[in-house]
Amino acid sequence: MSSTPAKPVLVANEASKRPSREQALEAVRTLIAWAGDNPDRPGLLDTPKRVVDAYGEWFDGYDADAGKELSRTFEDVTGYDDMVILRDIEVESHCEHHLAPFLGKAYVAYLPGEKVVGISKLARVVEIFARRLQNQETLTNDIIDAIESHLQPRGVAVLVDAAHQCMTTRGVHHRHVSTITTRFTGAFKDDPALAERFLKLARG
């Protein structure tokens, strides 16, 4: 059985295919009217501009390159061979199903092979992928795949813990519920004790 191919992600060099800013503004005006309000009343007159500007910030991950962030590496680690772990990286993303925010933290660790990268670059990779439309599982995979591809480490571990507003503000309206996704590669996948140590360090 054949399946419909996934729609390709719009990247920076395809920006000309995007709708114009005026088309985006008009789309917001249409949604305001569909919701039942008047987009021309004083309180809403500048809302389309504010929404479009906010979208430009929330989704600027489409214009960023995680590979570029990970391209500047260092080889001299003076014999260090244990995990490098970043805790409590802020995650601000939007789910692809309802365009609703999901907010939380990411925890990222890797076991250096021959290359290490500045720790701020790992946080930047999380930020780049978070600022796109996806589900949390995809976000977790994208972070780990980028690190695997560009650093060739001995293993990578990622945990994302986030609350989804599509669940808390609509639908079942269950507040104080978070979603946790994890993925392990290399030594983290092969060695349960190493994975457990990452989880303990990540959760503090």
Residue numbers annotated as active site:
95-98, 136, 164, 166
Buried b (16+ CB within 10 A) or exposed e, 29-47: beebeeeeeebeeeebeeb
Q: State the DSSP H helix or E strand holding residue 21, giving kind and residue range, or none if neither.
A: helix 21-35
Which positions ≥6 away from 85 have C-beta within 8 Å?
Answer: 107, 108, 109, 198, 201, 202
Smallest CA-to-CA distance from 49 within 18, 63, 20, 28 is with 28
Contact 147, 110 (CB under 8 A): yes
Residues ≥6 apart with Cβ < 8 Å to 158: 106, 107, 108, 109, 140, 143, 144, 182, 183
Residue 4 CB-half CA count within 13 A: 3
Separation of alpha carbons 109 and 179, rounded Å: 19
